Amino acid sequence: MTDAELLIRSTRVITPEGQRPAAVAVAGGRVAAVLPHDAPAPPGAHDLDLGTDALLPGLVDTHVHINDPGRAEWEGFATATRAAAAGGVTTVLDMPLNSVPPTTTPAHLEVKRRAAREATHVDLGFWGGAIPGNAADLAPLHAEGVFGFKCFLSPSGVEEFPELDHARLTEALGEIAAFDGLLIVHAEDPGHLAAAPSPEGSRRYADFLASRPPAAETEAIAPLIDLARRLDARVHVLHLSAAGALPLIAEAKASGVRVTAETCPHFLTLTAEEVPDGATEFKCCPPIREAANQDALWAALADGTLDCVVSDHSPCTADLKVPDFGVAWGGIASLQLGLPAVWTAARRRGHTLADVARWMSTGPARLAGLDRKGAIAPGKDADFAVLDPEATFTVDPATLHHRNPVTAYAGRTLHGVVRATWLRGALVAEDGDVTGRAGRLIARGA
Ligand SMILES: [Zn+2]
């Protein structure tokens, strides 16, 4: 303990055992010990007292679209990871699509890493992609350190990342199961989407909602679970919106199928009823659904059916958010706002900061196998978010760090101001300003 360089005190430290007053000692960029609140500072250590500001483990956001290179005008590594740092997110995993090239071969992964290496403000890793024709690239990508593989079951929205039909899904999952990898799935059934009315030409959110019915999700998830059971494979359901799929996931988990699922801040905090006509900053796939559906998602977080809450930050340039729900790009930009957005709704529903840390840090770290992330405990990286849980602010998109100042949260008043962010013992953001760049590229198992 005597070699600690930093001691951070708070009356509200969020540890795996819950919230308590404590002093967290940091040595060599890791948590050395969690001590009593009044523990003496080791000689030479910087003694920092946060008062009543809460000390949370840095958030782990395993669902971020950075689009760099190729569509860097939508989002780039520097801007996205600055937004992450300012928002208390210390680890980001980048999705394999919307950049050109997509992360579907080891050579493409190297292109992505080269673009990110000098730019990242937080720790950054990559998912690989499973698309038609790249089954032979999956094992080499796994060996190169991607955290798992994303696939779509319906059109992704970009032509360089096609979906898998059932035969190709079976082939890819078999391949991934052979090295006990993880398949993460955008689960909407293409047949149900094709049969639904098109939202083309409509400014009405109800028309968009009708075009992505809940059955599209449940009818994609059911066969995915069957396949995971048959192949004894690990699968993860991305951005679950339809509460009707929750019983399927709960039953599968109870029967030993290795399935996990996430939901997103927008599904937990925004409702279909409140989306104004033409407000395509609220468009994402699957869609934000009604308030009753949202209540069921919260219940599923509370009972563990849902494992984590991650942003699905998927921005684009403002001109692509035309006021036509059929044509506008689908994706919600929220990387910097996930913690206050979720906390604002969580506190109203009687949940604690420890719950939020479990959903937004511990859960995603476990999903990705990030053993050194996701908790304030000895041996973990000293990644922290300092949050004033009672303070409020009104979202002004112009003050956010992501590249294009568009977000569905504009004008909302949120509880929880991120005062500072620490990455491996280094201060990287303070009061919204990104002050340091200590981010590293990370790889599975490293
Ligand atoms: Zn996504």
- pLDDT (tens digit per residue) in 305-347: 999 999 999 989 999 999 999 999 999 999 999 999 999 999 9
Amino acid at 336: Q
Helix (H) or strand (E) holding 83: helix 77-86
One domain for residues 200 and 121: yes
Q: What is the pLDDT of residues 110-150, one digit of tens each?
A: 999 999 999 999 999 999 999 999 999 999 999 999 999 99
CATH number of 132's domain: 3.20.20.140
**One domain for residues 190 and 330:** yes
Could you tell me if 297 and 424 lie in one domain? no
pTM (two decimals) = 0.97
Range of the domain at 392: 6-55+381-401+410-434
Cα(21) to ligand 1 centroid in Å equals: 37
Q: What three-state secondary structure class fits 68?
A: coil
Q: Copy the structure tokens of residue 349.
A: 């529903």
Answer yes or no: is 439 within a domain. Answer: no
35 and 168 share one domain: no
Residue 319 DSSP one-character state: G
Q: Are 342 and 215 in the same domain?
A: yes
> What is the number of structural domains in the chain?
2
- 246 located within any domain: yes
In-domain check, residue 374: no
Structure tokens at 352: 């604690």
Domain end point (choices 344, 368, 392): 368
b/e map of 166-199 (b: 16 or more CB within 10 Å)? eebbebbbebbbeeebbbbbbbbbbebbeeeeeb
Tell which residue, 121, 139, 173, 47, has the closest CA to residue 335.
Answer: 121
Ligand 1 center from residue 431 Cα (angstroms): 28
Residue pLDDT, tens place only, 337-374: 999 999 999 999 999 999 999 999 999 999 999 999 99
Residue type, 21: P
* Residues 231 and 84 placed together within one structural domain of the fold: yes
Q: Measured in angstroms, how far is the CA atom of residue 312 from the centroid of ligand 1?
A: 5
Same domain assignment for residues 354 and 251: yes
Distance 322 CA to ligand 1 centre (A): 20
How many Å lie between the centroid of ligand 1 and the Cα of residue 47?
40
What's phi and psi for 305, nearest 5 deg? Answer: -65, -40
- Ligand 1 centroid, distance to 98 Cα (angstroms): 10
Query: What pLDDT, on a 0 to 100 scale, did the predictor assign at position 48?
Result: 98
CATH number of the domain encompassing residue 391: 2.30.40.10
- 226 and 77: one domain? yes
In whole angstroms, give the CA distance from residue 167 to residue 335. 35
359 shares its domain with 414? no
Residue 126 lies in a domain: yes
In a domain, 373, yes or no: no
Same domain, 25 and 143: no
Name the burial class of residue 231, with classes exposed (0-12), middle (13-18) and buried (19+) by CB atoms within 10 angstroms of its CB. middle
Same domain, 362 and 389: no
> Measured between alpha carbons, how far is 27 from 45 in angstroms, rounded to an integer?
9
Going by pLDDT thresholds of 50, 70 and 90, the confidence category of residue 1 is low
Pair (273, 386) in one structural domain: no
CA–centroid distance, 64 to ligand 1, in Å, is 7
Split at pLDDT 50, 70, 90, the class of 446 is confident
